[in-house]
């Protein structure tokens, strides 16, 4: 393809050589699938990404959504995209046959979404939210709601959203004020304001279905009083039509990036006529919503990974073509200039980008696999894989988001002055990716979730399972002499992480929650590096196996490239945990104990 945004060979490698996704096909739920059906889906997704999504990447950025007379106008191609995704069965591909799905592994669906996002991140705002909202309805709503709302959503005709945030309640959901008053007709009257609602309204679909958190009058305070409602923009009428549901768009945000998808502010029940339909039981809304939130967190990690990947390929292409300078040892100006890919510093930046994007993708697929293994097996397996998924979700969300920003920035740097210009794609990637550490739970929230909940849940059971999984990779690597230095480095990293964890837990045991969580963000950063190091060892292991067998020259180069990128990760990225651990092993209360007047001047 003219403009490469993802590596096809890499996907096969990760799915079938690193993660052995084929093991899923022996489970009854996936019995109709084979490697061939999955590859066909991926090939088709790649074509759709290249032919429909990528061509509109820049145009959707330039023509950002506008609010006109209460309606949000988006690029007309959005309607085509939603139609294609709906008619092609993409939105419900991982769902059960009985709702029209294809029972495709989540892992494969995520690969297809990754291709879409690598081609055009903003476009996947529409699809991922629709899939997630439909899944939430299918899991927790009444049959009547399922029958009415899910089919048009999976057909790409109606948009799904998650409507949580309010002006006074972003990270702190316990403070939402949107009210739901029961009526005798069974529905609730909704009133309030929601802000930062992605794809919260637009003219690329015929209706919008908000999965909304609100408080039923008289319920308990805080998160225990949050209920989940389905609040459509237009509600179905008795005669099969649609009528306005008093959901009004009060603003569209003007954003740094992610301009192909509107983020909206909604006003609910301005005229006292906004109807919401309770999903599940009252006051359990946040628990239900966590399903969609966790899926969205993986989705965000996947999208960040996808932008990182597209930026990597764009800067790789530039680095191979751009002539500039000579090697330090051959400065003779009479010699021709070399491609900048020959410069050590450029290679370092490219290796960083590749290590981040392919390492992050491997984590995302690991999570997809855990989701597939958890969703289709007995209770014991379910518990095991859900715990692993829970533990890794903060990493899968934040590692690609945070490191993706740096990685795209390095890609921009490779293009020099051109990287700073809108005529080249890097500056858009740089703007687009910056949203990811913010939405669906900031990095700080992910960090507190990791250390404050995931690490300690069930007496550290998830951590124990994680160590088992990593131990397995380390044991399997022992057969390969060339991997030994890296298994040793990974073991050292695990030991540092263990020591840091024990040190921080001492604060928790003294019930000093403030200091326990004070540097949670650094803890998340450290754990993220360890997790990605594990994934790189797994990739090194699969590459070593590949090299041991007969393989083509191209495959040999591919495997050697994987091994080289693994080496890069262990030599350049892994040492960063030294600095993080040094801080995390300290015991002062530098941020907790200070007074805010420190900032006076």
Does 549 engage in binding with its own copies (CB under 8 A)?
no
Of 156 and 257, which has the nearer Cβ to its own copies? 257
Q: Alpha carbon of 49 to those of 5, 54, 55, 265, 560: distances in Å?
A: 9, 6, 9, 30, 28
Please, are residues 427 and 417 in contact by the beta-carbon 8 Å criterion?
A: no
Of 113 and 402, which has the nearer Cβ to its own copies? 402
Size of interface with its own copies, in residues (CB under 8 A): 114
Report the C-alpha gap between 311 and 121 in whole angstroms: 12
Q: Give me the least distance between CB of 194 and its own copies, in Å please.
A: 12
Does 416 engage in binding with its own copies (CB under 8 A)?
yes
Does 538 engage in binding with its own copies (CB under 8 A)?
no
Among 337, 478, 502, 548, binds its own copies (CB under 8 A): 337
Whether 586 is catalytic: no
Helix (H) or strand (E) holding 515: helix 513-517
Of 183 and 337, which has the nearer Cβ to its own copies? 337
Does 558 engage in binding with its own copies (CB under 8 A)?
yes
Question: What residues form DSSP beta bridges with 267?
Answer: 193, 248
Residues 69-128 that bind its own copies (CB under 8 A): none
Among 329, 380, 459, 549, binds its own copies (CB under 8 A): 329
Q: Give me the least distance between CB of 41 and its own copies, in Å please.
A: 20
Report the C-alpha gap between 406 and 404 in whole angstroms: 5
Paired tokens of 358 = 């392919």
Residues 293-322 that bind its own copies (CB under 8 A): 316, 320
Among 61, 201, 390, 427, binds its own copies (CB under 8 A): 427
Does 591 engage in binding with its own copies (CB under 8 A)?
yes
Q: Give me the least distance between CB of 176 and its own copies, in Å please.
A: 10
Does 506 engage in binding with its own copies (CB under 8 A)?
no
Among 87, 513, 548, 551, binds its own copies (CB under 8 A): 513
In the chain the first and final C-alpha atoms are separated, in Å, by: 56
Of 310 and 435, which has the nearer Cβ to its own copies? 435
Identify which of 169, 160, 152 has the alpha carbon closest to the alpha carbon of residue 222.
169
Residues 22-61 that bind its own copies (CB under 8 A): none
Spell out the alpha helix ranges (H) of 27-178.
Answer: 35-48, 57-62, 77-87, 106-119, 123-140, 143-154
Residues 232-261 that bind its own copies (CB under 8 A): 253-258
Paired tokens of 175 = 């403070």
- Where does this chain touch its own copies (CB under 8 A) — which range of 105-113, 130-138, 365-373, 563-571? 563-571
Going by their DSSP bridges, the two strands 179-182 and 207-216 should be labelled as parallel
Among 1, 27, 145, 223, binds its own copies (CB under 8 A): 223
Report the C-alpha gap between 406 and 399 in whole angstroms: 11
Q: Output 33-36 pairs: Cβ under 8 A, ≥24 positions apart.
A: 33/103, 33/104, 33/105, 33/108
Q: Give me the least distance between CB of 162 and its own copies, in Å please.
A: 14
Please, are residues 305 and 360 in contact by the beta-carbon 8 Å criterion?
A: yes
Question: What residues form DSSP beta bridges with 159?
Answer: 208
The two most distant CA atoms of the chain are separated, in Å, by: 88
Among 347, 382, 503, 545, binds its own copies (CB under 8 A): 347
Does 341 engage in binding with its own copies (CB under 8 A)?
yes
Q: Give me the least distance between CB of 572 and its own copies, in Å please.
A: 6
Catalytic residue among 17, 295, 427, 440: 440
Does 481 engage in binding with its own copies (CB under 8 A)?
no
Residues 182-221 that bind its own copies (CB under 8 A): 195-196, 221
- The sign of the torsion formed by the CA atoms of 514, 519, 524, 527 equals negative
Does 569 engage in binding with its own copies (CB under 8 A)?
no
Burial of 543: CB neighbours in 10 Å, binned 0-12, 13-18, 19+: buried
Report the C-alpha gap between 528 and 422 in whole angstroms: 32
Does 523 engage in binding with its own copies (CB under 8 A)?
no
Identify which of 46, 59, 58, 56 has the alpha carbon closest to the alpha carbon of residue 1.
46
Residues 257-286 that bind its own copies (CB under 8 A): 257-258, 263
Does 344 engage in binding with its own copies (CB under 8 A)?
yes
- Where does this chain touch its own copies (CB under 8 A) — which range of 161-169, 205-213, 296-304, 536-544? 161-169
Paired tokens of 39 = 């590859």
Identify which of 190, 173, 174 has the alpha carbon closest to the alpha carbon of residue 182.
190
Among 5, 10, 188, 396, binds its own copies (CB under 8 A): 10
Does 448 engage in binding with its own copies (CB under 8 A)?
yes
For 26-54, give one letter per residue: b (16+ CB within 10 A) or e. ebebbeebeeeebbebbeebbebbbebbb
Helix (H) or strand (E) holding 268: strand 263-268
Residue 262 CA to chain centroid, in angstroms?
18
Among 69, 184, 238, 423, binds its own copies (CB under 8 A): 423
In the block, which residue shows the tokens 């990182």? 308
Among 34, 51, 168, 183, binds its own copies (CB under 8 A): 168
Does 442 engage in binding with its own copies (CB under 8 A)?
yes
Of 33 and 434, which has the nearer Cβ to its own copies? 434
Q: Give me the least distance between CB of 320 and its own copies, in Å please.
A: 7
Among 453, 475, 498, 583, binds its own copies (CB under 8 A): 583
Report the C-alpha gap between 440 and 425 in whole angstroms: 26
Among 36, 459, 552, 596, binds its own copies (CB under 8 A): 596
Does 598 engage in binding with its own copies (CB under 8 A)?
yes
Active site members: 440
């Amino acid at each position: 393809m003219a403009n490469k945004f993802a590596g096809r060979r890499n996907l096969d490698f990760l799915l079938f050589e690193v993660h052995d996704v084929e093991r899923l096909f022996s489970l009854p739920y996936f019995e109709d699938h084979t490697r061939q059906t999955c590859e066909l889906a991926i090939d088709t997704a790649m074509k759709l990404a290249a032919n429909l999504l990528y061509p509109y990447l820049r145009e959707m950025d330039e023509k950002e959504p506008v609010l006109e007379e209460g309606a949000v106008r988006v690029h007309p191609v959005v309607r085509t995209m939603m139609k294609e995704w709906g008619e092609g069965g993409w939105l419900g591909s991982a769902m059960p046959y009985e709702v029209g799905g294809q029972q495709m592994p989540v892992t494969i669906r995520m690969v297809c979404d990754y291709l879409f996002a690598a081609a055009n991140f903003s476009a996947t705002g529409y699809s991922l939210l629709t899939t997630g909202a439909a899944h939430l309805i299918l899991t927790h709503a009444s049959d009547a709601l399922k029958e009415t709302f899910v089919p048009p959503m999976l057909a790409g005709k109606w948009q799904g959203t998650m409507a949580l945030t309010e002006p006074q309640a972003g990270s702190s959901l316990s403070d939402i004020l949107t009210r739901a008053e029961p009526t005798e007709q069974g529905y609730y009257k909704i009133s309030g304001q929601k802000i930062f609602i992605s794809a919260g309204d637009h003219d690329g679909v015929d209706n919008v279905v908000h999965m909304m958190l609100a408080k039923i009058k008289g319920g308990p305070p805080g998160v225990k009083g949050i209920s989940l409602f389905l609040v459509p923009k237009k509600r179905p009428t008795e005669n099969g039509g649609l009528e306005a549901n008093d959901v009004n768009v009060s603003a569209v945000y003007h954003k740094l990036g992610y301009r192909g998808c509107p983020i909206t502010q909604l006003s609910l029940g301005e005229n006292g006529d906004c109807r919401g339909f309770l999903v599940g039981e009252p006051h359990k809304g946040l628990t239900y919503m966590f399903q969609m939130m966790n899926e969205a967190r993986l989705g965000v990690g996947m999208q960040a990974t996808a932008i990182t990947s597209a930026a990597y390929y764009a800067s790789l292409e530039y680095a191979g073509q751009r002539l500039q300078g000579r090697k330090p040892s051959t400065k003779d100006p009479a010699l021709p200039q070399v491609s900048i890919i020959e410069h050590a510093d450029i290679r370092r930046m490219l290796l960083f980008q590749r290590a981040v994007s392919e390492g992050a993708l491997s984590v995302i697929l690991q999570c997809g696999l855990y989701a597939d293994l958890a969703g289709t097996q007995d209770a014991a397996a379910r518990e095991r894989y859900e715990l692993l998924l829970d533990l890794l979700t903060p990493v899968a969300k934040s590692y690609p988001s945070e490191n993706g920003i740096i990685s795209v920035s390095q890609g921009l740097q490779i293009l020099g002055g051109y990287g700073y210009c809108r005529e080249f794609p890097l500056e858009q990637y740089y703007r687009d990716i910056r949203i990811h550490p913010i939405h669906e739970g900031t990095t700080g929230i992910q960090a507190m979730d990791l250390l404050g909940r995931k690490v300690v849940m069930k007496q550290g059971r998830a951590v124990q399972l994680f160590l088992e999984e990593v131990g397995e990779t380390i044991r399997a690597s022992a057969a390969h002499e060339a991997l030994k230095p890296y298994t040793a480095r990974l073991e050292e990293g695990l030991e540092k992480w263990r020591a840091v964890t024990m040190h921080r837990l001492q604060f928790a045991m003294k019930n000093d929650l403030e200091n326990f969580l004070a540097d949670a963000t650094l803890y998340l950063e450290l754990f993220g590096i360890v997790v990605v190091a594990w994934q790189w060892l797994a990739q090194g292991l699969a590459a070593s196996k590949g090299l041991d067998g007969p393989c083509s020259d191209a495959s040999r180069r591919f495997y050697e490239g994987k091994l080289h990128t693994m080496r890069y990760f262990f030599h350049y990225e892994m040492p960063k945990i030294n600095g993080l651990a040094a801080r995390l092993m300290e015991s002062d209360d530098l941020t907790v104990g200070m007074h805010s007047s420190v900032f006076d001047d």
